[in-house]
Amino acid sequence: MIIDTLELEDITPDDIEPQAALFGDGLGLDSIDALELGLALQKRYGIKLDAEAEETRSHFASLNALTALVEARRVH
């Protein structure tokens, strides 16, 4: 989902370390990517996040954190 949604060219799922940071260092995503991922989570899994909430930041910390969020809160 991350690769498709963010049009990450030349990156395969194996290239994304589960523990590594998605934003800044690590994969190197930016703030627009965060908005794009928030929209994708809503469309694909029915998960609505509050952009202002501090916990949203922790959900986006790594692939593992994002996976845990989807498993805990997916509606479909």
Partner 1 sequence: MKYPVHIEDWVAWTADSGLSIRPGHALTERLNESILPRMLRRRLNATGRAVCDAASVLDDGAGSPLIHASRHGDVSSSLEMLQGLESGDPVSPSSFSMSVHNAVLGVYSIARQHRGPTQALAACGNEFEALITEAAGYLATGQHAVIAIFSEGEIPLPLQSHTESPLCPCVVALRLTSETGQRLLAEPTVAAARPTPLQVIDWLSQDHTALVARHRWFLERL
For residue 64, the 8-state DSSP code is H
Q: Does 3 bind partner 1 (CB under 8 A)?
A: no
> By rule CB under 8 A, what string of x and - marks binding of each residue 6-45 to partner 1?
xxxxx-----------------xxx-xx-xx--x--xx--
The span of 1-9, 16-24, 53-61, 62-70 binding partner 1 (CB under 8 A) equals: 1-9
What does each C-alpha distance from 6 to 35, 53, 55, 72 come to in angstroms?
10, 23, 22, 23
Residue 48, CB half-sphere, CA atoms under 13 Å: how many? 0
**Residues at the site binding partner 1, with contacts judged by CB under 8 A:** 6-10, 28-30, 32-33, 35-36, 39, 42-43
